[in-house]
Structure 1
Amino acid sequence: MASSDSETRWTEQRGKRPVRIANCSGYKADPGYHMRYQAELGDVDFITGDYLAEVNIAENAQAHAAGNHPGWEKTAWEGIEQTIDILFEKKIKVIVNGGAHNPKGLAEKVQELVTSKGYNMKIAYVLGDNLFEEMKDIREKGLPPHLDSDNSEVTVADHALDLIEKGDKPVVSANAYLGAREIVKGLEQGADIIIAGRVADASPVIGAAWYWHSWQDTDYDELAGALIAGHLIECSGYVTGSNFAGFYEYPSDDLYDITFGIAEVERDGTCVITKHEAKKGFVTEDTVKCQFLYELQGNIYLNSDVKALLDDVQVREEGKNRIRVWGIRGAPPPPTTKLGIFYQAGYQSEIVVNATGYGTQEKFELWERMIRFGLKRQGILDRFDILEFQRLGVPEHNPRSQLRSTTYCRVFAEASDPKVNLGLASVFGEFSMQHYSGFHCTADLRTAVPKPYISYFPAIYPQSSLKTSINILGPTNSSNALQTNSIRTTPPPKFEELTKRQSYETANPVDMTSFGPTTRARLGDMVLARSGDKGGNANIGFFVPTALPSSYLPSSPLYIEAWDWLRTFLTIPKLKAMFGDSWSDKFHMERVEFPKIYAVHFVVYGVLGRGVSGSSRLDSFAKGMGDWLRDVVVDVPVKFIDGRQRKAHAGTYAATELNGADGHRS
């Protein structure tokens, strides 16, 4: 597209057609070439990028403060550097949060680049999310409320309040999750590239759509639709085939080196999720449903600008790689926004030992008993914040190789004093020749040496107390310094207090005997799922997939029956039972339904401990939780499973085995 054609697109087409927003990143590791792909492989109006997971903004905080790190994400710069010529030629605008701790620094570096190219492009950056100065003396000023403080049924994780109760836990970063208001103001001022720090993941997409369609800040239905459009494309390739529960039904070569998602957001806030046809990946109803269910808080999705009410969400295929999403309603935002506080929590260490075959359970019991004895004799057993002996895997029955017979025990420890962790390593050495039969482990024990770690306290902060601005870079002054036009922004005009989150079992449950004979099968032979984390909490969404045998279409009676079975079967008590030994009464579970996409959604509070870098869980972001629960064997009606099992991946849990000695039909 020629530059003059691009200018015409912006002057004549803005607001008259859907805005086409391509996302290039969901985490700092996404290489810069993904921004270039989104620019060069087809026409888009905006490119957005989400480079900040909850922890990585804190990882470089101390190095940046000491002058040893630029404070912004390297891959965000690499994307702009690789793409700048195409951005200028096609007049594509860019909005990214890759500025992290130093949006100004990255914006100035980008300004140097466009100046060296002779391009007439306006660069801007967002300020106001970084609250470190206000939070660094938190023991004197007081700790903001916990994110789940309004839920009386939630128990805060052990040691979650160490930040204020102990004097050796200094804050390293504190960033509020901003909305899209600063982005919109920057676009109104003519910005071509906007660099933000910790805006909410979907805020760049909201800002682009808001500006394009000239919405008012009280157009809540439209803003809510854009929020969900942003949610759907914000996670790299998660909507185009990555992290997809039904991956095994697609050719393996289609599942990597993929391009990321694009949202076409219409004036009313509805959207079509798509991708460039060039290169690999795919967008289906099921990939969109999986991503929709990822990291939800229930049936209300919160943002600083709007609350999205999700109960009536609908998804429908309009063509190859084109999925329409609608039914989202909006409401005024809450008066608070999320505040992520990270602090130096102490030291972590980890030791992994293996056991093979015969007597594995007894071997690990002996190992744990011996190590605890040694720690007690040293007088440090009770000085750990966390000390867990986690047994991973089950040895294969009648194993076909030693590897298939081998499992391991993960000893995970956290303590305030590194000498306590060193004591664990000392005991390991002390008993290194008093081990169980067949003891072995990796020769590299560097993880046994304590390393400092940062932990996470999710809080809420009043939006009215934020001091936010958009800052437009201009020409240099006489002293060769860039001039900046700083424009203060204001909070949303209206707030709505949060009410207690909904949680309910299904209305009008169906008589389970009406579905006919059952067979023992994995839940995943019938449903797909997606799980993720919200700090110390996990969310899990299960749904009846669209990609079923041709007689099993969403409009068919069999599909509706499958939904009736899922919503009746998957209750809170049932999911707790499926958790098995992983369930604790310290956890709290909530349940809602999205009936128009045939999905049941759960939030499990406290299951990830303190969450993020402070969690002791092997799967600390709960990404594998959904697939674990899909592997649990339950009674499934035969009419839903026949033919489906073999289509899925019958080799790992064959239908013949299910109906043989280990299974039954009733």
Structure 2
Amino acid sequence: MGDSQSQRSATPDARGTRPVRIANCSGARGDPGYQMLRQATLGPVDFITGDYLAEMTLAENVEKMAQGLHEGWEVTAWEGLEQSLEAINERRIKVAINGGAQNPKGLAQKVQRFANDKGLNLKVAYVYGDNFLEEVKSSLEKNKQLPKHLDSGNPAVKFADNIDDVLDTKEKPVLSANAYLGARAIVKALELGADIVICGRVADASPVIAAAWYWHGWSETDYDRLAGSLIAGHLIECSAYVTGSNFSGFSEYPLDTFVDLSFGIAEIAADGTTVIRKHEGTNGVVNVDTCRCQFLYELQGNVYLNSDVTADATSLCIEQVGKDRVKLSNVKGYPPPPTTKLAIIYHGGYEGQILSNATGYATNEKWALFEKQLRNDLKTKGLLDKYQLLDFQVLGTPALDPRSQFSSTTYGRWFIQADTEELVAAVLRAWVHIAMQHFSGFHFSTDMRTALPRPYQAFYPGTISQDEIKEGAVLLAADGSDALREEVKRPSKYHELQLRKNEETTRNPVELSSFGQTRKARLGDVALGRSGDKGANVNFGIFVRRAEHYPWLQTFMTTTRLKELMGDDWKDSYFVERVEFPNLLAVHFVIYGPLGRGVSGCRLLDALGKGFTDFIRDRVVDVPEKFLRDVEDVKAERLALLSS
């Protein structure tokens, strides 16, 4: 981490004369502070951005703040600033992060005090306007009406049975309610002279959009440019996801490539086109595959929404332009939607889980008996129908002719949610009552703490009119008081939301037999992909790596096929949307419903939907033999680029 002139960022005079270099340092609260320091010192950058907030983070902070156990902002965000501010000051890098969480003013004041103590020439600002807790609580209590659900625009979508529990404001009080803000208040803070901008709940890509908007002096109606920066922000917002983390093709590379990964950097030009890269000499990979994977992550179709712009990425181009350099182009922008997401987190009740093991012979019958025994015990006590959720799951499959007891063992998981602690505890008591009536070979972990009742938070994804939001920026004085406060105007124009595109192949399906001889192989042998969560929904994108393979994928990966590949996991209550990204050789799906009420209230082991892709890629299908040979050539090309 040297101090050579080549590592210093440009002076403010460079604004608009070249692409802006934006380095992201966080995608979740756990990313350590030294990642910010690395981004500041390993090479020249103009901005550092960071996304520290998951939907649950804000509500967790509120509860702890009420108990006097939390200051409301994210600790790792402060650790990054504490470690990096001197380097940031020397290189004149600007920072925009959402690590302020529920208390952006508090973190901004702490940063200002630290800068003063160190004698740093840094001005600090914070963004306000996202917190709607009191408004939502008051509205629910008075009107007994839910805000419009984020997915309510599609009449085919079915919501979870207990989706309206949030109306029970006495037993299930709202803990947090935050609107997803755009970039305009961050831009205002920068225009007021801020070097460090602390935000609460802004949309994940908003800090990146703001950095490019401010640098290039765009107007709010430069929609194509703003849309390009939105997609760039989406690519670098998630820690190391664009440089090799959560990458379905990782096994094609030396594993050391993905140890101690660097985070992504976006160079956004005045026209909104972007080059994604990382600092030279750091671990990880930036290529068309990592970028396609990250682009397909957490999408809700071909249109990406932000409070400042609507991006149509149907024709997005992703191309390799050098080692660890990938260009993004051809994004179309439109005015933003008239509403934005309103994340409402409330006390859902209590939950627990009980884990038990079964080994070997007659495993299916063992678990069937176990489930019957426990449900019968609860039924005789008059409790069976009193649970929000009482779900029994069997995880794993015993190996044929196992060579170890581990390989012969599966576990059963009772997942319990209820209104009271007593009901959750009753399941553990029932388990104890039947424990000595067990099947042959029954055993369990000696640590049963997961079975004890614990409160859980539930998520309601609502919407709020953008015109109801009063957001702005506050620049602090040296003593931490508010020096300048300026509210930003609402968007001048909105683009009305349409029903999301849902299509089968956009070209005439081809005969699968036309691709020649096939053999049984895993779908992942010829295709990569990415999946993730958005509220109740799983999104899943899959792509091939040769243009001549794409007509096969378009024909093969239909909605019906996806349902077949989901097998026993498919439920008729789910709904699927399908779109194509022909330039990316990709097909993308949104499966509405599998995650119930979102991450914290989800019954699934994979509550984030991240494992869905590799489950589907592990399914055995008929694959053209030629494709399997072609993929070996692709792998060799990727490795050659890595070592060049």
TM-score (norm 1): 0.93
- Any conservation in 1 of the 2:188–2:472 contact (CA below 8 Å)? no
How far 1:66 moved relative to its partner? 3.4
> Hey, what's the Cα distance between the residues in 2 that align with 1:581 and 1:253?
36
Does structure 1 residue 501 correspond to structure 2 residue 470? no
Offset at residue 490 of structure 1 (A): 1.6
1:433 to 425, 431, 436: 436
Q: Residue 521 of structure 1 aligns to a residue in which SS?
A: strand
Give the equivalent residue in structure 2 for 1:655. Answer: none
Question: Which residue is equivalent to 1:521?
Answer: 521
Which residue of the partner structure matches residue 86 of structure 1? 87
Matched, 1:11 2:12: yes
Matching residue within 253, 259, 262 for 1:259: 262
Unpaired segments of 5 or more residues in structure 1?
Answer: 546-558, 650-666
Whole-angstrom CA distance in 2 between matches of 1:27 and 1:573: 35
Find the aligned partners of 2:437 and 2:350 in 1 and give their Cα distance. 27
Structure 1 pair 633–12 and aligned structure 2 pair: CA distance change class (3 A): same
Structure 2 residue 171 is matched with structure 1 residue 172: no
Aligned to 1:312: 315
Is the partner of 2:11 in helix, strand or coil?
helix
Shift of 1:8: 8.7
2:349 counterpart (346, 350, 364) = 346
1:133-167 CA-partner distances (Å, limit 9, x unpaired): 11123232432111111110000112111111574
Letter paired with 1:256: V
Question: Which residue in the other structure is 1:206 paired with?
Answer: 209
Q: Which residue of 2 aligns with 1:197?
A: 200
- Separation in 2, partners of 1:99, 1:66: 19
1:241 to 220, 244, 260: 244
> Counterpart of 2:378 in 1: which secondary structure?
helix
Distance 1:85 1:364, change over 3 A: same
Give the aligned partner of residue 571 of structure 1.
558
- Contact 2:37–2:84 (CA<8 Å) still a contact in 1? yes
**TM-fit CA distance, 1:460:** 0.4
- Which residue of the other structure, out of 139, 142, 146, is the alignment partner of 1:140? 142
SS, match of residue 433 in structure 1: helix
Pairs aligned (count): 632
Conserved in 2, the CA contact under 8 Å of 1:3 and 1:91?
A: no
* 1:76-99 deviations in Å (ceiling 9; x for gaps): 000000001100100000000000
Residues in 2 aligned to 1:376 and 1:282: alpha-carbon distance in whole angstroms: 55
- Preserved contact between residue 116 and residue 478 of structure 2 (Cα < 8 Å): no
Please state how far the C-alpha of 1:6 moved relative to its aligned partner: 9.4
Identity %: 54
One-letter amino acid matched to 1:121: L
Kindly indicate whether the alpha-carbon contact (under 8 Å) linking 2:8 and 2:43 is maintained by their aligned counterparts in 1: no
Contact residue 541 and residue 589 of structure 2 kept, 8 A: yes
2:641 aligned residue:
none
Q: Amino acid of the residue matched to residue 33 of structure 2?
A: G
AA in 2 matched with 1:17:
R
Say which of 286, 289, 293 aligns to 1:286: 289
Please name the residue that 1:616 is paired with: 603
| CA distance in structure 2 between the aligned counterparts of 1:339 and 1:164, rounded to whole angstroms | 16
More divergent stretch after superposition (88-97 vs 113-122):
113-122
- SS of the residue 2:423 aligns to: helix
What is the alpha-carbon distance in structure 1 between the residues aligned to residue 3 and residue 249 of structure 2? 41
> Residue 43 and residue 8 in structure 1: after superposition, are their counterparts in 2 closer, same or farther (change >3 A)?
closer
Unaligned runs of 5+ in 2: 637-644
SS in 1 for 2:492: coil
- 1:5–1:266 Cα change, 3 Å: same
Match of 1:548 in 2: none
Aligned to 1:542: 542
Question: What is the CA–CA distance in structure 2 between the aligned matches of 1:41 and 1:122, rounded to whole Å?
Answer: 24
Q: How far did 1:204 drift?
A: 0.2
Matched with 2:613 is 626
- Separation of aligned partners in 1, 2:206 and 2:300: 17
The residue aligned with 2:488 is: 489
Q: Measure the CA separation in 2 of the matches of 1:107 and 1:340.
A: 23
Aligned residue for 1:583?
A: 570
Paired with 2:275 and 2:73, the residues of 1 have a C-alpha distance of 32
Q: One-letter code of the match for 1:126?
A: V
SS in structure 2 at match of 1:591: strand
Structure-to-structure mapping, 1:298-337, within 5 angstroms: 298-337=301-340
Q: Separation in 2 of the partners of 1:449 and 1:13?
A: 58
Q: Quick check: 1:531 aligned with 2:518?
A: no
Pair 1:231-2:238 in alignment: no
Counterpart code for 1:87: I
Aligned to 1:553: none
| Contact 1:30 1:236 (C-alpha < 8 Å) held by counterparts | yes
| Cα distance in 2, alignment partners of residues 5 and 321 from structure 1 | 20
- 1:468 corresponds in structure 2 to 471
In structure 2, the CA distance between the partners of 1:490 and 1:134, relative to structure 1 (3 Å rule), is same
Q: 1:166 to 1:190 in 2, by over 3 A?
A: closer
Distance 1:604 1:233 in 2: 24
Q: In the aligned structure 1, how far is the partner of 2:9 from the partner of 2:604?
A: 53
Instruction: Check conservation: 2:7, 2:43, Cα contact below 8 A.
Output: no
Corresponding residue of 1:49: 50
Secondary structure at 1:29 match in 2? coil
Q: Where do residues 349-388 of structure 1 align in structure 2 (5 Å cutoff)?
A: 349-388=352-391
Q: Deviations over 1:367-403 (max 9, x none)?
A: 0000000010111100110111111111111111111
* Aligned ranges 1:36-115 → 2 under 5 Å: 36-115=37-116
* TM-score, normalised relative to structure 2: 0.96
1:623 alignment partner, SS class:
coil
Q: Match for residue 217 of structure 1?
A: 220
Instruction: Tell me, yes or no, if the aligned pair for 2:23 and 2:47 is still in contact at 8 Å.
Output: yes
> 2:7, 2:41 within 8 Å by CA — same for their partners in 1?
no
3-state DSSP of counterpart to 2:307? coil
Q: Tell me: CA distance 1:645–1:66, structure 2 relative to 1, closer, same or farther (3 Å).
A: same
Distance 2:635 2:161 in 1: 41
Counterpart in the other structure of 1:395: 398
SS at match of 1:490: coil
- For residues 69 and 346 of structure 1, the distance between their equivalents in structure 2, rounded to whole angstroms, comes to 22
Distance change in 2, residues 1:304/1:70 (3 Å):
same
Once residues 483 and 360 of structure 1 are traced to their aligned partners in structure 2, the CA distance between those partners, rounded to angstroms, is: 66
Contact 1:375/1:381 (8 A) holds in 2: yes
Displacement after TM superposition at 1:484 (Å): 2.9
Distance 1:226 1:647, change over 3 A: closer
> Does the aligned pair in 2 maintain the 1:355–1:407 contact within 8 Å?
yes
Do residues 119 (structure 1) and 120 (structure 2) align? yes
- Kept in 2, the 8 Å contact 1:248–1:648? The answer is no
Closer, same or farther in 2 for the Cα pair 1:447/1:17, shift >3 Å?
Answer: same
Instruction: For residue 106 of structure 2, give the secondary structure of its aligned residue in structure 1.
Output: helix
- Amino acid in the other structure paired with 1:492: P
**Equivalent runs, 1:541-560 vs 2, <5 Å:** 541-545=541-545, 559-560=546-547
